[in-house]
Chain A
Amino acid sequence: MRLRPILLAALLPGAVAAQVSGRVTLSGPVPKLAARPVISDVAVCGRADRPSPALVLGKGRELANAFVWLEGAKGGDPPKGPFRIDQKGCAFEPYAQVVSKGVPVTILNSDPVLHNVHATTVTGDALFNKAIPVKGQSVKEPFTTAGVVRVKCDVHAWMNAWLFVAETPFAAVTDRGGRFAFPGVAPGTYRLHAWHELLGEKVQSVVVPANGVARADLSLSLAD
């Protein structure tokens, strides 16, 4: 599903240090997501159905857990970590995060049941699939292909998480206010991508003026 641009970027040059910041919002109808039943290992995972974590919206429809990245931006190495995914109470924590290409991510099991960490690209190509059978055990896995990675646990069908493997420091996951910011961007024109698991990807161009702040708000929708 390709999303077409709906809103134009509001580009407001400022007078502070060069940075790109903005907010991602949802436009159009709000998708209804069914809760996922817990059917295995209820002793550990509980019996309550799990509401889908896919859509976290703020009051003003700000979209959390969307990945935003600047294509073509150079300068600086991506953060060195440490990056960590915990499996606790039969859920991945955090649900969405940005990791750096080639830097090992520690994946921990804090539950007394077996979880497996099955990572695939967004198109379903296998990356790795490892079992972590014991509480307190962890594995370290570096991600070598940039882009969105889906992590799931085949043992517990409701468990999943998302990673964005970044090659530059200019990638972020939106917070609960839908906000993101990339400080230290060199002036120039870039393509700003936003991606959300339900709403797909959207691209718009952003111009960073010399010593200026570029603001870029994106809006994703279920349209098309």
Chain B
Amino acid sequence: MAKAPPPEPIDHHYDIAKLTKVFAIVSILVLPAFGWMTWQDYGRDWKSWQKKFVENDRKRTREALRGAAEKIDPDVEQKYLDQKREGARELRRNRAAVAEAEEKDRKAEGAWYDSDQDFRFKKAEMDTARYVFETRQKEDPKSSATARAKAEYERLRAAWQESQRTEQAAKKAWDGAKAESAALQKTKKDAEEALGKLDEEYDRFQAKLKTLKQNDAFYFVRNAPIADMLAPSLRIQQVQLDGLSNDVNFLRSQRVDRCVTCHIAAEKRGFEDKQKYPESVLRTHPRLDLFVDSNSPHPYATFGCTSCHGGRDRATDFMRAGHMPNDYAAYEKLQEELRAGRDEKGMPVDEDALRELMEETQTGRWMKAYDWEIDKFNDLPMYPMKAVEAGCFRCHRGDAGHPKAAKLDQGRKLVEALGCWSCHRMKGLEELPKPGPNLARLAAKTTPEWTARWLVNPRAFRNNTKMPRFFYLENFDTPSGHKLTDTMIAGVTAYLFEKSGKDAYAPPAKGDAARGQTLFENVGCQGCHVSEPGAERRVMDGWRQHGPNLIGLSEKVTPGWLAAWLKNPKAYNPETRMPNLRLADDEIADLVAYLMARPVQPEFKASHAPKADPAERDALVSDYFMQTRSVVDAKADLAKMSPKEKDVFVGEKIIAHYGCYACHNIPGFEKAKPIGVELSEWGNKPVHLLDFGFVHVPHTRADWLAQKVGQPRSYDREKVKSFQEKLKMPQFSLSPAEIEAVQSTVLGMQKDDMSDALTARAVGARGAVEAGRRIVKDYNCQGCHVLEDKGGAIREAMTANKIDLALAPPIIRGEGAKVQSEWLFSFLHGPKTGQIRPWLKVRMPTFGLTTDQINSLTAYFATQDKARYPFDGRVEALDPRSRAAGAATFVSLKCAQCHPTSQDAFAQALKQGKTPADLAPILAAAHTRLRYDWIADWIKRPDEWMPGTRMPTNFPKVDDKSDTRISPLAPALDTPAFAGLKKELVAIWGSEAEAKAYIGDPDRVTKALRDHVWSLGNDFLTAPTAPKTRAATQVASH
């Protein structure tokens, strides 16, 4: 048997044939994998959005073009060409005319030059002759040579005069030619410009057409699978955010926002219409004035999107980006009902209806469209849109308020007013005035009974109180819990009264409640206070809720205390923000009579002060004792104490336990630290560190917070806790909208991870303005004044009381430009009743501001108006003619009929029977109060400075649209009524034409009036430095 030939020696250890097969199989397998991969990549979500956008964009351009074409003309091109041809023809004609005119001009110039030369030579000749004549005349006046010289001189003089006439005629001819040529040149230039513009328009039109005709096939190819690696038009869009990074556990990575990959229309105008572009992702950002746009304060290139919205920067996928729906909690609640088959009240539910409801929620829609679910691995998802303003707070926490973010602003006001910040440290909200009153002298103000009843439920007494409820809440809602609560309340009351100062006040004289009411409605109380009974809870923001609702005072305070308080609030509580209204004793008596007669809430009237339960009290005291001493000692010590001592002991412990001293000054707790958790970076707190207890709330930060603020003790439900362990946060009774507002604020309290350049730091001008706004907010200036076009809340009360709004506190507009900062300082330091506007019944109170605070305010006003600060330039001298003209105009316009020019004139007017209400500000004070430049501007346009002012508008606008003002005095000057003024003005200005030029110019007239007003009562100017008049100068020179 023949042996098979031995295999050829192999120099490799694999079988080619086998390998070929393997390769073949693998490549067959890989091919679909490759195809699948390409398809996956090609079909990424964001691409579909971009494609959709391209479609939208094209449709829009096409529509716009169609619209434009319809608007222009059907045959726009032909029309353009016609216009162009006509324009060119016109231009040609024009050019010829221009050349001709120029030629004429040149010739006329030549003629004039000749005549001018002639004139000059003749003059020289004449001068020579005159010199000869004069010399001869001196030597020998009677000689014939002199007579000859004279004749020669006269001849030359006549010739010179003749040449002068010729020269003047030539000059006139030349001027005419020059003007004609200039006019023609201008026509030519205009024509050329118009033609250029026409060309530009045509080019733009052509470019648009070209875009429209762009090759669809090319678009397809460059974005086709695989080919799209070269230069696709659909691609990921991103922006690197300088100075911003992600914290990736001990590493920092550059922040790169890719949101506009899908939100591709965000920065493009023209995609606002919700009907036309139903997908919000393909719409323009709704606030391009504030965000995204390169001209806005938050341009996309610097801030990106995640700086404000939160979320994952690099994600290009809906889920991964961290989108959060607004109504996840509501969805979960429905889900829970569906699971249980019963609703909240235990009624069986209609499952189909419920499912439908769930599908209609944003969460439901997202689940369907994007498989949305809560992403447990994303620590910082986006803020849900309802809390999106949290993003503002990240950089703006140093500001005093947030006028452009309404919800955040409301939340911030609540967090400040309710004192969240005083228990929980919050960076940026330190050093505010304590939200609660000083309790160091409580016994002088009220009774233990009232205090205990108040503690049970503050809102029963006062429907708008900021004081939250600490007691009788759900985690103490058992019989023993109630007893413990009563014991705690009795203890707190006992402690406060034990430690309180006990000054006594004599009751005021008997007042008249009706007069008191009039005073209450007129003097300005209602800028900060309401007096509205009703069990319904009031919203706590709003300027008129700044102070307490003045009801039920008869239950709370003594007339003596109230009188002393009104007389000088700072005497009782040096930290109070209640200002001093400088009320007279009889006014105080009337006000007390009125306020003490205001109604008491019936619920409060029916309440009783809780009494301590002896057994609970003993148990509580022992508990505390046993923390530090033995059982035997504790018992012995307890036995030694009187009931009152026990109450006081319990009170001290409870005040420490609940941290009452964070909001109130309480003797014995001056140095105690607030008890709340610091919230400065709460917005970064990992969700797994939050205790959701047994409450069914979605596990998100926002939902935990809403539950906590709304029902602070609910996370204790179903839990077994000792008294010490129970939750302590009080009940603020906020409305759902208010809770959302607080959410927006607290969610925004995040690590300070924005770069310095992006953070709104309160430095420089911005710092000055924010510091001023802080004081404006703390002292509620806008309760009375319209400031920064907001506020003036008292006007609402005045309208209700049928008081003329002309008597409202002044609108503060441009105050920095208006008054001298020195004056403003002294005014804010110690305003006097009737100092500026004696006719007002409402008074600027004395706030007792510190020098620093007043400096902040004066700087705030000056900075806002870009006025010189702190000193306005001193006016050293006034133009005497302007001042004299001002004085004449002042008399003629009868300004003094309302404005006393001096204190004497004011007194005189009062003697004649006028009341301050009939008078306008005393002008003698103008130069110490007002800025020099401002006075003229005010006289010119009082209607714009202070709408509704009694000061008449003497220089009306030409029409509503223009800013130009005219002087109606100009035509009036020729009437007999103004003959006197005319005569004076002619004397001052030297001629009638000059006088008319003056009176017809609102600027000059108002400045002249200003100069006169400035000189009133101004010794510095009226005495020696007054500039010399022309007459005086002439006398001196002779």
Contacts and interface: CB of A to CB of B under 8 A. Distances in A.
Contact of B914 (A40, A134, A137): A40
Given A42-B913, A114-B897, A155-B918, A129 B977 contact: no
Contact of A129 (B893, B917, B953, B972): B953
Contacts of B968: 139
B912 A130 contact: no
Contact of B948 (A113, A117, A124, A135): A124
A124 B802 CA distance: 11
A154 B950 contact: yes
B949 interface: yes
B896 to A, nearest CB: 9
Interface string A135-154: 11101000000000000001
B891 to A, nearest CB: 10
Contacts of B951: 129
A165 B590 CA distance: 44
A202 to B, nearest CB: 20
B943 A129 contact: yes
A157 B951 CA distance: 14
Q: Tell me if B's interface is mostly helix, strand, loop or mixed.
A: loop
B952 interface: yes
B472 to A, nearest CB: 44
A29 to B, nearest CB: 19
Nearest to A125: B948
Contacts of A134: 892, 894, 972, 977-978
Nearest to B892: A133
Contacts of B978: 134, 137
A136 B978 CA distance: 10
B54 interface: no
A147 B914 CA distance: 34
Given A114-B893, A114-B894, A39 B975 contact: no
Contacts of A41: 897
Contacts of B948: 120, 124-126
Given A126-B947, A129-B943, A118 B914 contact: no
B914 A131 contact: no
Interface in B948-976: 948-954, 956, 968, 972, 975-976
Nearest to B799: A124
A222 B972 CA distance: 46
Contact of B953 (A39, A125, A130, A135): A130
Contacts of A128: 943, 953, 956
A130 B956 contact: yes
Contacts of A136: 975-977
B805 interface: yes
A42 B976 contact: no
A118 B893 CA distance: 16
B956 to A, nearest CB: 7
A116 interface: yes
B729 interface: no
Interface string B748-777: 000000000000000000000000000000
Contacts of A154: 806, 898, 950, 952
Contacts of B976: 136
Interface residues of B, number: 31
Contacts of A124: 804-806, 948
Interface in A8-52: 39-42
Most B Cβ at <10 Å: residue of A129, A137, A156, A157: A129
B915 interface: yes
Interface in A36-79: 39-42
B954 A131 contact: yes
A54 B972 CA distance: 34
Interface residues of A, number: 27
B416 to A, nearest CB: 34
Contacts of B915: 39
Given A134-B978, A157-B918, A118 B950 contact: yes
B894 A42 contact: no
Nearest to A118: B950
A39 B912 CA distance: 8
Contacts of B806: 124, 154
A162 to B, nearest CB: 16
A126 B943 contact: yes
A211 B523 CA distance: 60
Nearest to B951: A129
A52 B728 CA distance: 65
A131 B913 contact: no
A42 B918 CA distance: 13
Contacts of A126: 943, 947-948
A114 B892 CA distance: 10
Given A130-B953, A130-B956, A137 B977 contact: yes
A39 B914 contact: yes
Contact of B950 (A42, A113, A129): A129
Nearest to B915: A39
Interface in B904-960: 912-915, 917-918, 942-943, 947-954, 956
A90 B943 CA distance: 24
A116 to B, nearest CB: 4
Nearest to B889: A133
A44 to B, nearest CB: 11
Contact of B952 (A40, A113, A120, A130): A130
Interface of B: 804-806, 892-894, 897-898, 912-915, 917-918, 942-943, 947-954, 956, 968, 972, 975-978
Closest 4 CB pairs of A and B: A131-B952, A114-B894, A154-B950, A134-B977
27 contacts: A39-B913, A39-B915, A114-B897, A114-B898, A120-B948, A124-B804, A124-B805, A124-B948, A125-B948, A128-B953, A128-B956, A129-B943, A129-B949, A129-B950, A129-B952, A130-B952, A130-B954, A131-B894, A131-B954, A134-B894, A134-B978, A136-B975, A136-B976, A136-B977, A154-B898, A154-B952, A156-B918
Given A130-B952, A155-B897, 16 more contacts: A40-B914, A42-B913, A114-B893, A114-B894, A118-B952, A124-B948, A125-B948, A126-B948, A129-B942, A130-B954, A131-B954, A133-B893, A136-B977, A137-B975, A154-B806, A155-B898
Interface of A: 39-42, 113-114, 116-118, 120, 124-126, 128-131, 133-137, 139, 154-157
